[in-house]
Structures are given as structure tokens and as C-alpha cells.
Chain A
Amino acid sequence: MSLGLGVAQLVAPNAVRRISGVDDSPTSRAVVPLVGARELVHAAGLLTSRRKGAWAWTRVMGDAMDLTALGVAISHRAGQRRRRLLGVTGAIVGITAVDLLTAVQATRSTATSGRGGPMELTATTTVRIPAPEVYTFWRDLQNLPTFMAHLEEVRTTGDRTSHWTAGAPFGQNVEWDAEIVDEAAGERIAWRSTGDADVPNAGTVRFVPAPDGVSTEVHVVLTYDIPGGPVGKAVAKYFGEEPHQQLDDDLRRLKQVLETGEVVRSDGAPWGKRARKEFPQRPAQPLSDDELAKGADA
């Protein structure tokens, strides 16, 4: 909507001035395109930024400015122009209400995701390999760190038990024991953390034959009980702003490893599963020996 309003005010300022009833004032000649330009800034921010909440508040502030300007205009107008201004003001009041609601909701949803509590993630991919083989690869839990970005190591400690280490920011590792609680060979594995885990978690993966008779649909559900406090904050931060995207990327790497033998690297994104965020990237040109040595343990 910002885009539409902004373009209208910039391209056809005179029409906008006539419709809104302020066409008798020289000030409006300058103000209308300015308001239009401001609308385009809102649009750009809302469309491109990850922080939609903050940009939604800029719209609310803009609405307040508009209402003030309209109030001033109404007090100086009479007759037809005044009626038009009142109509426009009514519309802006409605828009303000919607913007306020949006901004409050966007801010609230950002706030809760950083505060801890249970988080459920689901993701799915199709691998062009029969289900029993995908199952066998996954059932050897020590394979998981080859494609899951967070995991440093999974060590099996018994037939159904294992010890997991996940890297966290600033060198704080998160560790826990886990056990397989349910499995059906070639079809399903379910596990959960045991004992006093910093981040209690559980997961299920199902391997479903795809309709093509060759491939396997891999369906993953993970749940994390993100605690409050500094550990919780660190974990939430570690997952980034888009944990779903991270799990999607993990499964993409699973597919790469199973179908092609390893995680695919490019010059711009050379670190395989260590690439926790896709941006910023390095330029797409060959790595120097130094850069290559730094990434050699990836």
C-alpha cells in the first residue's frame, strides 16, 4: 500500500491534491510529493528488511504526521474542500488503526521468539535413494554432523544411546545425552534428550517412499525447549532469525551428501556445512592459500 500511495503522490501530485482538497495551497505542492517519497521509504523497508516490526512502526509515525497535517488543513478549509479533507482524514484514521495493529503484532512475535519456550521445526526433502539406505545412513547417528550445521559431534554410547555436542557462539558448547525412543527399521526414528540437558530436545524423522518408486521423502520434526537466561539467549541467537531456514539447509546438505557424496562448495560459499548464514558471502573468486588453510577443518 505504501508503494501505491507513494507512486501516486510522486507521479500525479496534482490529482492527489485535488482529491484530498488541498489544491488551493502552495505548501501542498511541496508537501504531497514529500509524503509520497516517505511512503516509498516505508515500502522499501517493509519489503526488504527482516525487521518488519520496526518498519511497521515507521508507518504508524508517518500516519501521525499525516493526521497532524490534515488537522491543520481542515482548520483552514470550508465547504467542498473541507468535506473532501474530512473524508481523507477518516480513511487515514482507518489506515492508522491497521498499521498500529500490524506493528504491535510484528513486535510481539519478534519478542517471544527470543524469550525461550518450546520451538517446533519441521522440514522435508526428497532424496533419490531408496528408503532403507537413507534410514541406514541416519540411524548411524555419527553421520548427522556431516550435514547438520549446529552439530559438532554425535558419539554413540550404546545401541540406543548417544552423546551429542553442538557448537554455540563464543565457544560455549551445548552437550546432552540422547536415546532412541522409537524406531521402525527403514521407516522411522524418534529420539529425545535425557538427563539434565541444557536444551531439552526431541526429534522424529520418517522415511516415506516417494511415488516415483526410487526416491525417499524425508520428513523431520524437531522440538527444542529453549530455556530462559543467558544459555537460552545464546541458543536462540545461535539458531538465528530463521531456524526453519537452517533446518531446510541441513536437509539440503543431507540430500547432497547422499546423492553426490559430499557437501557442494562454491568459491563464494566455500565452507560447506560451516556456512551457517548464506550472507554475507565472500566474492566468487578462487580462495587464496591462507583462506583455504583457514577453512581446511570445515
Chain B
Amino acid sequence: MRANTWAGRNKVEVRDVPDPKLLNRRDAIVRITSTAICGSDLHLVDGYVPTMQDGDVMGHEFMGEVVEVGSDVPGDRLRVGDRVVVPFPIACGACGACAAELYSCCENTNPNAGIAEKMFGHPVAGIFGYSHLTGGFAGGQAQYARVPFADVGPLKIESDLTDEQVLFLSDILPTGYMGAEMCDIQPSDVVAVWGAGPVGQFAMDSARVLGAAEVIAIDKEPYRLEMAERAGHTPVNFDEVDVRSRLLELTGGRGPDKCIDAVGLEATHGSAHIAAFDRVKQAVRSESDRPHALRQAILSCRSGGVVSVIGVYGGLVDKFPAGAWMNRALTLRTGQCHVQRYMEPLLRRIEAGEIDPTRIITHTLPLDEAERGFELFKNKQDNCEKVVLKP
């Protein structure tokens, strides 16, 4: 089959690889009809996630049709011919983490847990196409994928919704939603979202759906801010204004009640000095992440507010504003999305027309043009917000 693979730093390559086969009895094989390029794929391409290997099949947002199921997948859960969206974290459904609905922390699905444990203290779940640190699972930017624990994760789509309407249930829509849900939004809340990429856009829409009074979008790309503005959110361009001052102005000096970091470890910054400092530290590996967005969110949030972190961080940061966090009674909430928990409720919101996931798609390309898709997305060319690939 054809698959998009990691071919070294800043290089992806669509190659011929073997077709996937069942390896465990609860596996299924899915013929992929739509897949997407995610912002967190860029961390892999940029070389900030360790343990990538030449030839790793990338991609963790995908959906398609079940073409084969293992002997231990119950027929009432999944059959050949079912149309499914596959969540990016692989979860067993049986361990302590799954019992607590913390699916992205599943204790059983990472065969390389020993490596992840050294990095994170405790291991995290296996993730499709996302380094050997998260299990070494082949990803979904391909014609077919093997899906472990197929009786637990995949969501059956039985209505005639298009791929584009449901594909993002695999990652970015639940991720954005969880970012807003962790904010415990009240009707009077002003919610500021750092990053107007795909996850940020969905965090904004979710904050609105959950009842926020006003939602502020922080980014530097005019086309992303315009996209947020068209959806009814207030834009702030950090290349043009000082973010903290502007936020204070918009909130009567209080600061946003709730702040969502939808940026993560490769943040850019309005101040050239701080950006250069973090960039150098990251380059010599004395700091693995550039936490500008996180610092700014903590410093801007109103006292007693919530800072919700859904941007991906990989390792260690410094100059974390612990004083602001502690002295001003902030709550910090985080997590890779526990996608399985949100898929069904969000499917119902899509069916009810409360959220329109298709509004962020700017490019649809054949799988063979994955390399160009990464170029467009990474360099924000051609007003690229979200790329869907068709195998």
C-alpha cells in the first residue's frame, strides 16, 4: 500500500510499504477513506519528539471502512463493512486509567512503556503514528491501518454525514472541546484561546457552545484570525499589539476568566529577545520546549481563573511562572485528549448543527501529495489551516 512516512528531520515521503496485518486478536484492519495532517505531526517533522525512525508511517487522524476483524472483536461492537472514525489514543478499556475515562493514559497499550516511563515518570497510551515513545504504532496517513482494541476505540458512523463532518472526531475536535470543558465555563466567562490553528478554532467554538460570554483568539496569522472572527470570536494579533495589555483592555482590567493554551512546545513570540533565548536553549537541548504561550496565559489569566493546556509539551521547560500560578490561585488543567470519552456526545452536537467541523478545511489533497500538504501547513502558505488527505 501507499503510506506517508517519516524520512528524517523536515522530510516526509510517500512510499510503498507492506499492507497491515492482524497482530492481536482484538485488532481490526481499516481501509482509510479520509485522513488529516495535524499540528502535532509538525513536532515529529521538526525533530522535537525523540524516538522517530526512518520509515515510520505517520498520521493519527483517520477514518474509513472496516475490512477485517480479529477473532476476539465481538460482532455487536464491530463488523466488516462498518464505517468508523478512529480515535488517536489507543485504549484497552480494562485498566485503571480507562476505568477512570483517562483513555490517553491507558496503562496497557504502549509496548514501549519502559521508554515513556523514563521520559514522563509514568507511561502514556499508545498513539498511532506518533514515535516509538508512544508505542511504535504505524499511523493512518496510508491506504490501510491496523487498529488495536478495535472493540473499544472506533466510533461507528451510521448516518450519512460526510467524512469531512466526522473525521475530526478522531482528534482535534475532542481536543479543542476538552480544552474548553476543563475550563468549567460559566455564563459570564471571557475565554482567551492562544493559537488559532485547527485545535484552537475548535476550542473557541466549544467555549461558545458551553456558554462563554466572549471568546478571544490570539495568533499572528491574519487569515487564521479572520477565520476566528468569521465564527464570531474576537481577534488579537500578537505581532501587532501587546497581548497582556490588549486582554486587560478587553476585560476591564480583570484578565480573561479562562485561558486555553492551544499552542504547545514550538510557540513563536512577539518579543524577539525571549524567542531567541528559548530557541537557543531548545537547540542545545537544555530546554526541550518553548513555553511562551503557557507563560503568557498564566500571567494574563484573572486571579482564581483556570489555565487549560491542550497544546502539546514534550519535556522540560524553564522560567515557568510558578509565582503567578500560586499567588493568584490559578488552576492549571492539562491532558492529551481522552478522545473516546467525547466522540459520541460530539457526534450528536454535529448532527444537531451546534458545531460545524468543516469550517476549518482549506485544502484537500490526494495521499500522494502528503509532502506538499506538510509544506503548505507547516509554512502557513496559501492560507492553509487544515489539510485533509484522500488515500
Contacts and interface: CB of A to CB of B under 8 A. Distances in A.
A261 B109 CA distance: 12
Contacts of A287: 18, 21, 23
Which label, helix, strand, loop or mixed, suits the secondary structure of the A interface?
loop
Nearest to A214: B99
Interface stretch (A60-68, A83-91, A137-145, A276-284): A276-284
A259 B93 CA distance: 9
Given A260-B92, A266-B126, A268-B137, A283 B21 contact: no
Contacts of A252: 113-114
A269 B111 contact: yes
A157 to B, nearest CB: 31
A265 interface: yes
A126 interface: yes
B111 A286 contact: no
Interface of B: 1, 3, 5, 17-21, 23-26, 53-57, 72, 92, 94-96, 99, 107-115, 126, 129, 132, 135-139, 146, 148-149, 284, 286
B56 A261 contact: no
Given A255-B108, A286-B19, A267 B146 contact: yes
A122 interface: no
A92 to B, nearest CB: 23
A7 interface: yes
B19 to A, nearest CB: 6
B112 A260 contact: no
B137 A266 contact: yes
24 contacts: A40-B284, A249-B113, A255-B108, A264-B111, A264-B148, A266-B126, A266-B138, A267-B20, A267-B23, A267-B57, A268-B53, A268-B56, A269-B111, A281-B53, A281-B132, A283-B53, A283-B56, A284-B56, A285-B57, A286-B18, A286-B21, A287-B18, A289-B18, A292-B21
A248 interface: yes
Interface string A190-223: 0000000000000000000000101100000000
Contacts, number: 128
B126 A264 contact: yes
Contact of A264 (B18, B56, B108): B108
A270 B94 CA distance: 21
B247 to A, nearest CB: 34
Given A261-B26, A286-B18, A281 B96 contact: no
Interface residues on A, range: 35 or more
A52 to B, nearest CB: 15
Nearest to B57: A285
B134 to A, nearest CB: 9
Contacts of B113: 249, 252
B139 A284 contact: yes
A249 B20 contact: no
